[in-house]
Amino acid sequence: MDTRHDHPKPWLPADCRQAIADAEAEYLKGELADIDAGLHALVDAHERHMDVETIGLNAGTNVMNPRAAALLGRSLGNRPSLGYPGDKYEMGMEYAERIEIVADGLVRRLFKAPFAEIRVGSGALANLYVFMATCAPGDRIMAFPPEMGGHVTHHKAGAAGLYGLDIHPVPYDAARMAIDLDRLRSEAKRLKPKVITVAGSLCLFPYDVAGVRGIADEIGALVLYDAAHMAGLIAGGRFQQPLAEGAHLMTCSTYKAFGGPPSGLVMTTEQGLAETIDKIAYPGLTANFDLGKTAALAMSVLDLLEHGQAYAEMCIANAHALGEAMAAEGLPVHGVAGRGHTESHHLALHAAPFGGGQTASKHLAKANVLLCGIGLPIQAVDGDLNGIRIGTQEVTRFGLTPKEMPQVARFLARVLKGNEKPEQVKGDVIEFRRAFQTIRYVRES
């Protein structure tokens, strides 16, 4: 085998190949001590950039409770925890296995779910676990298409496609940003999907889960609600409650609005599904799972049990205020007639006037304002996403309130509409951020 290559990932686009080549040249040269120092310098620089000097409006991110973050670094994840509490394969886990029990109990309490699976590495894997528990390769599912926030894990390139599922779109009504239940009923009767997936990576408004459940019951399908983004608000009781409204299954990421470590969860109301998913988690797709993350997760659930309602309310209040403020600046905020811009912590802008979603986001990043592109059910932008997605969860945790949203909107408008050089705006952003450095809505020791 020839192991000499010009580049470690020659299949990547040119920009990415260059970024990797540059970083290799800078950070992999010299003695091991140099590499060690460089590694730590990168972590320090990252923390300063993301946690101190930028306005984080990325919708799928958050800042963790430092007490939860500290648990990630404790001596837990490297001790393999295989099998059920009370009968672990390797010895010495009598304390650690109780952390798993605490986390499981807290997650079930938080989501009022009879069953939860916490040994899931990510939201993407949570979806894979659900597809494996409910479908065989070749079976049909229906899922939100990308322009309605449908996630790659519901589609061909992700978990659903890699598992061999036949994926069909859930019909929608773009004007209402809602599921078209009449067309869903006729399509579902024709296609007979095993699973109908609800929600995705942009959720401006709650979906009619009860309506979907009614249709699913007519054809014997299961309803999966993907709460990757909405789990934090659902936990706070300030967004829809998918399991109570009829979803058989709910998956989520735990690092987005949830505000915990990077991991995933599956909740279900059905004992049979819970048992199948339990066996997929172990011995199926993991041997050890990360107990450090599990301890951090338990801490994050405590945060949500205590502060979740106030946090969710402030996330939504901030989104309302930011939507209004951006519209007042003349920015094209996506919305629904009679319903406004959002009922969650998410907002979206039309990206065509700014060259596309990723183009605009990269431009804004130079001003230290962080967000990213998203697909919207409006006219496409060639070679880029047609929307810009915004989430208020992180700035909410850093203490921003509706009072500050006009200033945030101004920063966006100065770069996107005022054609100010982002580098000029950056200094003002750093100055503004100085006053917001304390993490709110988390439990103190």
Query: Which residues of the shown chain bind ligand PLP in the complex (CB under 6 A)?
Result: 60, 122-124, 127, 151, 153, 200-201, 226, 228-229, 253, 264
Nearer to ligand PLP by Cβ, of 226 and 245: the residue is: 226
CB of 12 to ligand PLP, least distance (A): 20
CB of 432 to ligand PLP, least distance (A): 28
Nearer to ligand PLP by Cβ, of 151 and 350: the residue is: 151
Greatest Cα pair distance in the chain = 66
Nearer to ligand PLP by Cβ, of 292 and 422: the residue is: 292
Nearer to ligand PLP by Cβ, of 158 and 422: the residue is: 158
Nearer to ligand PLP by Cβ, of 155 and 397: the residue is: 155
Nearer to ligand PLP by Cβ, of 266 and 405: the residue is: 266
CB of 83 to ligand PLP, least distance (A): 25
Three state DSSP letters for the chain: CCCCCCCCCCCCCHHHHHHHHHHHHHHCCCCHHHHHHHHHHHHHHHHHHHHHHCEECCCCCCCCCHHHHHHHCCCCCCCCCCCCCCCCCCCCCCCHHHHHHHHHHHHHHHHCCCEEEEEECCHHHHHHHHHHHHCCCCCEEEECCHHHCCCHHHCCCCHHHHCCCEEEECCEEHHHCEECHHHHHHHHHHHCCCEEEECCCCCCCCCCHHHHHHHHHHHCCEEEEECCCCHHHHHCCCCCCHHHHCCCEEEEECCCCCCCCCCEEEEECCHHHHHHHHHHHHHHHCCCCCHHHHHHHHHHHHHHHHHHHHHHHHHHHHHHHHHHHHHHCCCCECCECCCECCCCCEEEEECHHHCCHHHHHHHHHCCCEECEEECCCCCCECCECCEEEEECHHHHHCCCCHHHHHHHHHHHHHHHCCCCCHHHHHHHHHHHHCCCCCCCCCCCC
| Residue sitting closest to ligand PLP (CB) | 123
Closest alpha carbon to 395 in 417, 371, 423:
371
CB of 157 to ligand PLP, least distance (A): 13
Nearer to ligand PLP by Cβ, of 148 and 425: the residue is: 148
CB of 6 to ligand PLP, least distance (A): 31
271 forms beta bridges with: none
CB of 286 to ligand PLP, least distance (A): 14
CB of 415 to ligand PLP, least distance (A): 26
Nearer to ligand PLP by Cβ, of 149 and 422: the residue is: 149
CB of 234 to ligand PLP, least distance (A): 13
CB of 388 to ligand PLP, least distance (A): 16
Nearer to ligand PLP by Cβ, of 250 and 367: the residue is: 250
